[in-house]
């Protein structure tokens, strides 16, 4: 049976509500003030909380805020205020601080029992959905964490708003050593975007093992996305073909922010989008639109998702492409871009929450890249960073 925590400094009211709940078969825990309630919840569990407003040490508003925003992040526990307050502003404050409902004192037994039953049913459904979501996320992340990922020559930063997200980074080599790289961002966030990643990853690695030209893989991937995914799902991305021995890079940009080539801290070339995002049009144009250019030892290529440039400050200003390029100019020569960029975005937000996933990949050209040259920076949300 469900456990209900009664938080009230009035022993008469506590006894009345406790007896009512025990008759219904609930387990009951009593707390005389907010501090006692928080102490119990630090180690104990309940399924619903009945909260008084006016109490010593911590009132009901303060206690509810602490419970909702600090202690009960992984599970939905309804808080129903029991209050003698009849002011509209005070009742509204019950909800603003994180409360889910309120019942006026003295409570009608019929109304109180009905409210409790309804909220317990609702919380059970919400928590079951949350558990199912976590299971799905684990399955998706397991599918996307591919051992075929080749990190040589790459440094990767990925931070996510949600554990399951639509940003992808894929890297593999043909038998002759030419490396293929895909950095992309599926429409939207969360599970809806994340479920598309395994489809693209499987296609990318399977066709790379067959030594297909990257342009052929791009074409096949575009058709597959159109045929297999809903019409509102598309992939903005950039593809890179790196001939490490020949010192040549070829880039296809499909609706992605510009790819930037740096040399000694100076922008050498910007590869803007020349294709629509994958999954919009079956026809990608005539001929092969890839841009092919030479590389010199020490050159760096940067690929970044729109979350890098669309991050906003508290005042609503975007970080923007110009500010990002200035950041690359200031930090690329020292090799500190990937290790410092996440902190730079956080400082720019000035306390505002992140609303989009952030992905950045740095390619450092060397004639013979080794495993040691690759690095995948951990996400601040403990989210797997290679897909």
Per-residue three-class SS string for 150-180: CCCCEEEEEECCCCCCCEEEEEEECCCCCEE
Instruction: Confirm whether 49 is domain-assigned.
Output: yes
Residues 85 and 161 placed together within one structural domain of the fold: no
Residues 241 and 371 placed together within one structural domain of the fold: yes
- Residue 387, pLDDT score: 36
Its pTM stands at 0.67
Residues 222 and 354 placed together within one structural domain of the fold: yes
Greatest Cα pair distance in the chain: 84
Residues 33 and 86 placed together within one structural domain of the fold: yes
CATH number, domain containing residue 365: 3.60.40.10
Peptide bond before 106: cis, by omega within 30 degrees of 0?
yes
Q: What confidence tens digit (pLDDT) does each residue in 228-271 have?
A: 888 888 999 999 999 999 999 999 999 999 999 999 999 999 99
Task: Give the end of a domain, one of 79, 105, 137.
Answer: 137
Residues of the domain holding 131? 3-137
Residues 129 and 153 placed together within one structural domain of the fold: no
* Residue segments in the chain with a per-residue pLDDT below the cut of 70: 71-73, 132-146, 161-165, 188-193, 367-387
Bridge partners (DSSP) listed for residue 104: 83
Residues 105 and 190 placed together within one structural domain of the fold: no
Instruction: Confirm whether 106 is domain-assigned.
Output: yes
- Residue 207, pLDDT score: 95
Residue located via tokens 């100019």: 329
Instruction: Confirm whether 291 is domain-assigned.
Output: yes
Task: Give the end of a domain, one of 107, 137, 167.
Answer: 137
Q: Between the CA atoms of 146, 180, 298 and 254, what dihedral angle is there, to the nearest 10 degrees? A: -110
- Residue 205, pLDDT score: 92
For residues 329 and 265, the answer to whether their CB atoms sit within 8 Å is yes
Instruction: Confirm whether 240 is domain-assigned.
Output: yes
Candidates 244, 248, 277; CA nearest to 261 is: 248
CATH number, domain containing residue 103: 3.40.50.2300
> Structurally, how many domains does the chain consist of?
2
Look up residue 21 and give its two tokens: 């709940």
Instruction: Confirm whether 142 is domain-assigned.
Output: no
DSSP 277: P
Instruction: Confirm whether 167 is domain-assigned.
Output: yes
Task: Give the end of a domain, one of 85, 102, 137.
Answer: 137
Residues 191 and 240 placed together within one structural domain of the fold: yes
Q: What confidence tens digit (pLDDT) does each residue in 76-120 have?
A: 899 999 887 777 777 788 888 888 998 888 888 999 999 999 999
CB-side exposure of 163: number of CA atoms within 13 Å?
A: 12
- Residue 78, pLDDT score: 92
- Residue 383, pLDDT score: 32
Residues 366 and 328 placed together within one structural domain of the fold: yes
* Segment (H or E) for 281: none
Residues 78 and 160 placed together within one structural domain of the fold: no
The Cα 293–Cα 105 span in angstroms is: 76
Instruction: Confirm whether 384 is domain-assigned.
Output: no
Taking the chain, what is the end-to-end CA distance rounded to the nearest angstrom? Answer: 43
Residues 198 and 91 placed together within one structural domain of the fold: no
Residues 189 and 304 placed together within one structural domain of the fold: yes
Residues 182 and 229 placed together within one structural domain of the fold: yes
Instruction: Confirm whether 18 is domain-assigned.
Output: yes
Return left, alpha or beta for 227; rule: phi > 0 is left, psi -120 to 50 is alpha, else beta: alpha
């Amino acid at each position: 049976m469900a456990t209900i925590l009664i938080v009230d400094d009035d022993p008469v009211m506590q006894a009345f509500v406790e007896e009512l709940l025990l008759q219904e078969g609930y387990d009951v825990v009593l707390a005389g003030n907010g501090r006692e309630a928080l102490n119990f919840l630090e180690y104990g569990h309940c399924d619903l909380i009945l909260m008084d407003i006016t109490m010593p040490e911590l009132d009901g508003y303060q206690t509810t805020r602490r419970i909702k925003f600090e202690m009960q992040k992984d599970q939905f526990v309804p808080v129903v205020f029991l209050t003698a307050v009849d002011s509209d502003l005070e009742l509204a404050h019950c909800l603003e601080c994180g409360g889910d409902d309120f019942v006026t004192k003295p409570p009608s037994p019929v109304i109180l029992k009905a409210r409790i039953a309804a909220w317990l049913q609702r919380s059970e459904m919400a928590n079951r959905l949350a558990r199912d979501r976590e299971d799905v996320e684990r399955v998706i992340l397991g599918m996307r964490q591919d051992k075929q990922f080749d990190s040589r020559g790459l440094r990767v930063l990925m931070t996510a708003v949600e554990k399951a997200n639509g940003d992808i980074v894929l890297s593999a080599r043909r038998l002759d050593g030419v490396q293929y790289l895909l950095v992309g961002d599926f429409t939207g966030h969360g599970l809806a975007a994340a479920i598309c990643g395994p489809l693209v990853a499987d296609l990318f690695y399977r066709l790379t093992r067959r030594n297909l030209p990257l342009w052929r893989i791009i074409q096949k991937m575009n058709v597959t996305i159109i045929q297999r995914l809903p019409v509102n799902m598309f992939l903005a991305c950039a593809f890179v073909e790196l001939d490490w021995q020949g010192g040549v890079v070829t880039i296809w940009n499909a609706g992605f922010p510009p790819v930037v080539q740096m040399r000694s801290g100076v922008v050498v070339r910007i590869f803007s989008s020349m294709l629509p995002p994958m999954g919009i049009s079956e026809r990608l144009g005539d001929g092969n639109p890839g841009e092919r250019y030479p590389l010199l030892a020490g050159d760096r290529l940067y690929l970044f998702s729109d979350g890098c440039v669309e991050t906003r400050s508290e005042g609503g200003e975007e970080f923007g492409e110009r500010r990002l390029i200035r950041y690359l100019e200031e930090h690329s020569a020292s090799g500190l871009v990937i290790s410092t960029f996440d902190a730079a975005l956080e400082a720019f937000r000035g306390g505002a929450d992140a609303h989009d996933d952030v992905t950045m990949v740095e390619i450092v050209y060397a004639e013979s890249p080794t495993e040691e040259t690759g690095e995948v920076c951990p996400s601040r949300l403990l989210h797997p960073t290679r897909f």
